[in-house]
């Protein structure tokens, strides 16, 4: 797969929106970064605050099919990149949150468009390196966000790993590696849409949650929001 093109902006509404437009014009993968987003978003159109200097990143590519479990795989990729660049162990909360010291420090949003013969997939990643102390609900990595060289190293590593995923070259052990980094394996979680409490057992190859109810029945859940005691 060809290398990616990169565009950086001081301020944008959404890196994902710009990435979609750039992908329509390019046969290569596209990387968009920005110092600040004014209308960043997460899953279910939730607002994602993107203060100046943190990681606002989107990776987009064209393909004949949509890669399964892209959001789940991207979470694993992000934790691996953070470990390599910052030597920080970041955990995963299903389906798409990055967790550090029991608080959310980042999130992932995967969106796609059907062009007819091809799909455009755009993967947005937001990571809090350093936030204002009054933002107590969210966490950060306590990384100096003015260190541009470290941020560039992270962006390069993320992009190269996502290129591997986009060309279907991700290691076959990704499921077991994801489970090792999940912060709530074996815990009971609450599905927000139904208020049902299930024991989280792991994930399958499609990224679905594998769980067990109080009657001992195995249940698979597609991407949904969950609540976990003790985690933000």
- In angstroms, what CA-CA distances link 117 with 63, 114, 166, 230? 9, 8, 17, 45
* Full pLDDT tens readout for the chain, 232 residues: 458 999 999 999 999 999 999 999 998 999 999 998 887 665 555 665 566 779 999 999 999 888 889 999 999 999 999 999 999 999 999 999 999 999 999 999 999 999 888 999 999 999 999 887 776 677 899 998 889 999 999 999 999 999 999 988 888 899 999 999 999 999 999 988 888 899 999 999 999 999 999 999 999 998 677 888 766 5
Q: Is the CA virtual torsion 18, 23, 25, 30 positive or negative?
A: positive
Contact 159/77 with Cβ under 8 angstroms?
A: no
E strand or H helix at 199: strand 197-203
Q: State yes or no: cis peptide before 95, omega within 30 of 0.
A: yes
Please tell me the predicted confidence (pLDDT) of residue 1.
Answer: 47
Structural domains in the chain? 4-177 (3.30.930.10), 180-227 (2.30.30)
Report the relative pairing of strands 4-12 and 29-37 from DSSP bridges: parallel
């420090």: which residue's tokens?
105
Contact 64/203 with Cβ under 8 angstroms?
A: no
């059907």: which residue's tokens?
114
Spell 163-172 as b/e; 16+ CB within 10 A means b.
bebbeeebee
Please tell me the predicted confidence (pLDDT) of residue 225.
Answer: 79
Please tell me the predicted confidence (pLDDT) of residue 89.
Answer: 98
Please tell me the predicted confidence (pLDDT) of residue 222.
Answer: 86
- In angstroms, what CA-CA distances link 114 with 24, 119, 179? 11, 5, 31
Query: Could you tell me the two tokens for 224?
Result: 């949904």
Q: Is residue 207 classed as helix, strand or coil in its secondary structure?
A: coil
């Amino acid at each position: 797969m060809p290398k990616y093109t990169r565009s950086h902006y001081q301020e944008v509404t959404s890196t994902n929106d710009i990435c979609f437009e750039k992908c329509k014009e390019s046969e290569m993968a596209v990387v968009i970064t920005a110092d600040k987003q004014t209308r960043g978003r997460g899953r279910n159109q939730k607002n994602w605050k993107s203060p100046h200097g943190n990681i606002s990143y989107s990776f987009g590519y064209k393909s004949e099919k949509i890669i399964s479990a892209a959001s789940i795989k991207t979470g694993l990729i992000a934790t691996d990149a953070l470990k390599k660049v910052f030597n920080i162990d970041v955990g995963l909360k299903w389906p798409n949150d990055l967790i550090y010291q029991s608080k959310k420090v980042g999130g992932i949003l995967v969106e796609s468009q059907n062009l007819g013969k091809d799909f455009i997939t755009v993967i947005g990643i937001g990571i809090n390196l350093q936030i204002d102390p009054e933002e107590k609900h969210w966490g950060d990595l306590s990384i100096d966000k003015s260190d541009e060289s470290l941020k560039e190293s992270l962006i390069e590593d993320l992009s190269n790993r996502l290129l591997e995923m986009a060309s279907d070259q991700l290691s076959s052990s990704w499921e077991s590696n994801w489970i090792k980094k999940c912060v709530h394996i074996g815990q009971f979680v609450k599905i927000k849409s139904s208020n049902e409490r299930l024991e989280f057992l792991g994930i399958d190859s499609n990224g679905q949650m594998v769980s067990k109810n109080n009657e001992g029945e195995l249940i698979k859940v597609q991407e949904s929001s969950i609540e976990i005691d003790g985690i933000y």
